[in-house]
Chains A and B, each alone.
Chain A
């Protein structure tokens, strides 16, 4: 590969990261307080649940499916943590295990129904969105369950570092997922299945199995997001994660993931999450009102996808 082409590829790959840095500097110039460690740490520690959910969504999009249920599954998982610790008096690790199991089960059901019964994942996960939200209300009696400091330590910065255990776990998962996607047979297979399901099957890949695994992973990660959410609030809120699936899809797409399957990036997805978060916090700090914030965020999503499409087209011509 020629050095020029290599350089170009690096630019394409890191373009999204570069835009993120420019955005941070931009708000840093406009607002005095923005470029402080406290602000950045505050922003970052809000994000672990969105980060892990977005990783799940990105994998699902790569395999050419969609998962609309992640927000509700997150809510259900938070509810499971709450009821386990407060209602049943179980130790936190067991509560967390049950929450992860609940998330993975929802994902497994999504994957099983869409793969083996040939239902569109859009419809199956839309149904799951309703069901798991309902289940969250049932387990909590529609009340927020206060848990308190027993769980909050997960979301609070470790002394002097500004980084919470949840953020560390989320970033570790980012790197593991990135590695799996790019360096392993499993990652290669899900890209193949998402690109051309039939061709993948004819190469001897059990495409249904991989779709089920990916949707289960997405549920599992939503379950983890539920734990992080409960930790952040110090309480299990049955309304947690409403609309989160759309933020996660937006972040994945800003990060260069295609809705048509076969193309996506975990690092890009992380950058997508950060861009949305920096944009929202930055706009708030410089005094932009909530309605205008939403207009701007929406526009950024569209422009990012437009630009990405233009880039891909140009790449295909070369």
Chain B
């Protein structure tokens, strides 16, 4: 534990502006070292340097007493540095096994030996808790959570051709449910006991505090604190990351201002996912939470509400003052005033390569154009400037290309899309996934404002804490069945989790909800 594996000395890196401003940091052999900081603090840049994806920088990095300056990812792998990145690098058209062992496919005279390949892959799949996945299936059929675990298996598979000494995990639990995350944490602990150094990056601070030996806090391109994990409380960490004292949770106004009129009525819908009919209502001025474990149908439900999947029976109707319209497809949903934020920003959210302005105004173009369909560029500029300041979007100007913004700022732009359209109903799937604490609070406050303006918000989240904090009502899905509906303050995390596990207890992975909920409770004291 006392031996130094990696030392970073006065590391500087600039793009157009300096991003890393003199990083000094050491990593011990076999330690779990977390790096926390807001989005844009420079964590990903630092990791991209260590993994050889960025190579023009100043300073020095010493790895096992050798000078380390990688120029490509395979250099890093030769040194025994492996990473499972936040952005997935899974190739959907290859099998799960091929993805895991892509760097070193077992072969005889260049012919890939399938049995050997799948045998080796099996070992890693079992190791990370994907026992139920067939190694020969195509990776594109995995859920997002499973893909994230596969990414980890890929990182671990570096062992098959070189010793893995340093493993970098960037937001590894973002798409994982509680039990999956717990499993991941026990794997990490095991690896560190074997002498592998782990760099762990996560926004889930309680997880960070529990599993880390050491925590370093980054802010604006410098390390503001590096200390042993037991010396830091969550409030400490938050105030050091933001540079401001911790102000407590989102200052929410609890006045019951909502009218009792329902605006979205879901009447007994079934489709290829939901065999049991689902019915519920959402009202004006109300935030409804959709809770459930990973793979219990949260995303599929929101997609169905937005008209993205065909419905076998039942109806989804939007009630306005004098009429009720049945939603049949997403185009109509948008027209009627429903907005949707998908879980996967990159694939189904942003228009990569296009400007911030174009991304923001896309669904609401008709509001800033003439009847002949000509865009009023002055109005467009005004609208984008207005939202940039309202939502504190960090950018150089509205022509900046969207993918150069940080994840949290991209999410703000996507939320602004629907605010601009003045949508009456917002369907939000994991709106704070991979978003830093300050941006999270900004989004919470914004949702609360919208609620007070009489909007109806339906939000799906894997973090129960998040839902109990901001929702007026929570519905719980378990294995694609709506099992329970909780009214405000008539819930406990324990009850929600018990409901979420209800339909899973008959499947092969029998989990005792009581144990898990205790576990979860201790994991989510603060968020």
Contacts and interface: CB of A to CB of B under 8 A. Distances in A.
Mutual binders A and B: yes
A229 B340 CA distance: 49
Nearest to A198: B348
Interface in B314-360: 330-331, 333-335, 340, 342, 347-354, 358
Q: What bracket does the count of chain A residues touching chain B fall in?
A: 20 to 34
Nearest to B401: A316
B109 interface: no
B404 A204 contact: no
Given A199-B349, A203-B417, A316-B401, A262 B354 contact: yes
Contacts of B401: 316
Contacts of A201: 330-331
A198 B306 CA distance: 13
Interface in A287-318: 316-318
B339 to A, nearest CB: 9
Interface in A276-294: none
B278 to A, nearest CB: 21
Nearest to B362: A203
Contact of B397 (A1, A184, A191, A195): A1
Contact of A191 (B350, B358, B404): B358
Contact of A196 (B352, B369, B374): B352
B115 interface: no
A183 B362 CA distance: 13
A188 B330 contact: no
B209 to A, nearest CB: 36
A204 B333 contact: yes
A233 to B, nearest CB: 38
A205 B334 CA distance: 9
A192 interface: yes
A185 B331 contact: no
A202 interface: yes
A202 B331 CA distance: 8
Nearest to B358: A188
Interface in B357-384: 358, 362-363, 365-366, 369, 373-375, 377
B331 A205 contact: yes
Interface-central residue, B349, B365, B366, by most chain A CB under 10 Å: B365
B334 A204 contact: yes
B331 A184 contact: no
A198 B366 CA distance: 20
23 contacts: A1-B399, A186-B373, A188-B358, A188-B365, A188-B375, A191-B354, A191-B358, A192-B351, A192-B362, A195-B351, A195-B352, A196-B347, A196-B350, A196-B352, A200-B362, A202-B308, A202-B330, A203-B334, A204-B334, A204-B363, A205-B363, A317-B15, A318-B16
Interface of B: 15-16, 306, 308, 330-331, 333-335, 340, 342, 347-354, 358, 362-363, 365-366, 369, 373-375, 377, 397, 399, 401, 404, 417
Interface of A: 1, 183-186, 188-189, 191-192, 195-196, 198-206, 262-263, 316-318
